[in-house]
Amino acid sequence: MSTTAVLVLPFFIASLVVAGPLVSAVPSHAEVVDALKSSPLQTQKTELLAQSHPILKESSVLHDSANKSPKAVKILATAYSSSPDETDDTPFITASGSRVRNGVIAANFLPFGAKVRLPGVFGDKVFTVEDRLKESYNDRVDIWFPSKGEALEFGVQVTEMEIL
């Protein structure tokens, strides 16, 4: 297991323990571990795609180099809202400087403006990366919801993400 995985695993397990009672359909620990082990992110060489500031050039890692089709990966999806306890002192402004709205997600491993789909959860809906998570959360995407109740209802899910 890589050093990053060893460092991230305790935070992942702690987030499941904290969020578990709030979410009715959280997968078991074994299901999550199996899903993450089979994830292409765990088996392919990757490069840093995002930092705290926007990346201007698009990386070839985002697409299948043979035919430029969307790349699909298993990912941990969480949810957040603009409630004061979940954000900084500008709860309605994203890290990219735009206002939060339906279709905004936060991800540390994708550049601002990257388009993704979560077909297992949201079908063909397209999301845009416009926000960032805490620096240590490089293993997930965080989906913005208008209310804390909706975010808690979504909970924590392992799903497939298509990077468009």
**Cβ within 8 Å of residue 106, ≥6 positions away:** 80, 94, 95, 129, 130, 131, 132, 133, 141, 142, 144
Q: Which residues are registered as beta bridge partners of 41?
A: none
Q: For residue 1, is pLDDT > 80?
A: no
3-state SS assignment for residue 80: strand
Which percentage of the chain shows pLDDT scores above 90?
Answer: 46
Domains belonging to the chain, first-starting first, are 3-163 (2.40.40.10)
Q: What is the mean pLDDT of the chain?
A: 78
Q: For residue 16, is pLDDT > 80?
A: no
- Which amino acid type is present at position 3? T
pLDDT band at 124 (very low <50, low <70, confident <90, very high): very high
Predicted confidence at residue 141, as pLDDT, reads 96
Element housing 12 (H / E): helix 3-19
Lowest-pLDDT choice from 35-44, 110-119, 124-133: 35-44
Predicted confidence at residue 135, as pLDDT, reads 87
pLDDT band at 13 (very low <50, low <70, confident <90, very high): confident
User: By C-alpha distance, which of 161, 149, 143, 162 is closest to 23?
Assistant: 149
Please list, residue by residue across 67-95, b when 16 or more beta carbons sit within 10 angstroms of its beta carbon and e when fewer do: eeeebebbbbbbbbbbeeeebeeeeebbb
DSSP state of 84: G
Q: Could you give the C-alpha distances from 160 to 12, 79, 120, 141, in angstroms and in order?
A: 18, 15, 6, 11
Q: Is the pTM of this model over 0.75?
A: no
Q: Report which of residues 23 and 18 the model is more confident about.
A: 18
Average pLDDT over residues 13-29: 59
pLDDT band at 43 (very low <50, low <70, confident <90, very high): very low
Under a CB-based contact definition with an 8 Å cutoff, are residues 130 and 95 in contact? yes
Predicted confidence at residue 45, as pLDDT, reads 45
Q: Is the dihedral of CA 33, 38, 43, 48 positive or negative?
A: negative
pLDDT band at 152 (very low <50, low <70, confident <90, very high): very high
Predicted confidence at residue 48, as pLDDT, reads 41
Q: How far apart are CA 163 and CA 115, in angstroms?
A: 6
